Amino acid sequence: MASLKELSKKEELFTGGHRLCSGCGAGIIARQVMIACEKPVVVANATGCLEVASTIFPYTAWRVPWFHSAFENAAASISGIETAYNALKKKGKVKEDVNFIAFGGDGGTYDIGLQALSGAMERGHRILYICYNNEAYMNTGVQRSSATPRGANTTTAPSGKQSTGKMQMRKDLTAIMVAHNIPYVAQTTLSFQSDLMSKVQKALSINGPAFMNVMQPCRLGWIYPPEDTVRMGRLAADTCVWPIYEVTNGVYKLNYKPKEKKPITDWLKIQGRFKHLFSAGNEEVIKQLQADVDKNWEKLLSLCGEKI
């Protein structure tokens, strides 16, 4: 595991002074990822909360070479940069080893960026793609994405007399990335700092593509007090709503198993986006959500060779 004591002494490559919301997890994730980098790094950033709020002209929070791509093509952009680097290194014009990282939100990763991401993974570029997953299009007004969980209230899947919020289950993008047969895939949250930074270092050490799906609590779209962001990320793992695991060359490993698996109601009741589910008549929705979590958790335990 990464040594937090030693990493805390490193120069900050993602600085304060950005315009992200108070309590926003995207900035926490970016800071942890940059601290974990041990070699020179180039970053590509899809349009989204992180990009918009960290690079308001003429200011920037990034102290590394940084490229702004469109919403849908961060993976293609970082692939092109990595390819250009390889060509320059082959010609002897570049000598130092460089890492390549792309950041994208769930909208730019799960949805409109999926084609570019899949292509980059299939081609085998030596890149790390990190999805900071706040489970909706938060930057443009809290619209639902395919990462939005069943039952959540969003502006395009609102709860009301005729609806209990989003009706569909969220897409399992981590499993989709595993299906690409790439060397490394991982899932974590910003609340497990040592786990997150260790996974970044492991991903960057691999000679091939890597993908990390990092849950990013969003105090604006999820509706909770900004000081509870880290608590939200840990509760996601303790309820098994968001398991912490990695897949290295097809081999699954569980990185965190709660001593006591908490009920999903502990996760739902502290978020405004699920407030409507606790009204009379919505009991079956909560039961279904719990059943979904239980099923997915048992499946993961089996894949990891853990006792159910």
CA dist., res. 220 & res. 215, Å (int): 15
Q: Are 271 and 222 in contact (CB under 8 A)?
A: yes
Give the pLDDT mean for 31-56.
96
Give the pLDDT mean for 10-29.
94
CA dist., res. 176 & res. 139, Å (int): 25
Tell me, yes or no, whether 8 lies in a domain: yes
Cα distances from 173 to residues 5, 29, 131, 257, in angstroms, run: 33, 19, 10, 21
What does pTM read for this prediction? 0.96
CA dist., res. 119 & res. 209, Å (int): 11
Asked if the model's pLDDT at residue 8 lies above 80, the reply is no
CA dist., res. 59 & res. 100, Å (int): 22
Asked if the model's pLDDT at residue 169 lies above 80, the reply is yes
Asked if the model's pLDDT at residue 10 lies above 90, the reply is no
Measuring CA to CA, which residue among 47, 112, 55, 44 is closest to residue 77? 44
Tell me, yes or no, whether 106 lies in a domain: yes
Measuring CA to CA, which residue among 34, 24, 25, 27 is closest to residue 54? 27
CA dist., res. 64 & res. 101, Å (int): 11
Tell me, yes or no, whether 277 lies in a domain: yes
The residue segments making up the domain with residue 39 are 4-303
CA dist., res. 89 & res. 165, Å (int): 51
Q: Which residue type is seen at 140? A: T
Task: Look at the chain and report how many structural domains it folds into.
Answer: 1
Q: How confident is the model at residue 2 (pLDDT cuts 50, 70, 90)?
A: low
Cα distances from 85 to residues 65, 145, 205, in angstroms, run: 13, 34, 17
Cis status of the peptide bond prior to 65, with omega within 30 of 0: no
Tell me, yes or no, whether 308 lies in a domain: no
Tell me, yes or no, whether 143 lies in a domain: yes
Lowest mean pLDDT among 5-9, 174-178, 295-299: 5-9
Cα distances from 108 to residues 42, 68, 146, 187, 222, in angstroms, run: 19, 13, 11, 17, 19
CATH (domain of 291): 3.40.50.970
- Burial class of residue 283 in the structure, from the number of CB atoms within 10 Å of its CB (0-12 exposed, 13-18 middle, 19+ buried): exposed
Tell me, yes or no, whether 271 lies in a domain: yes
Tell me, yes or no, whether 296 lies in a domain: yes
65-115 confidence digits (pLDDT tens): 999 999 999 999 999 999 999 999 999 999 999 999 999 999 999 999 999
Q: Are 49 and 139 in contact (CB under 8 A)?
A: yes
CA dist., res. 89 & res. 282, Å (int): 60
φ/ψ of residue 157, rounded to 5: -140, 65
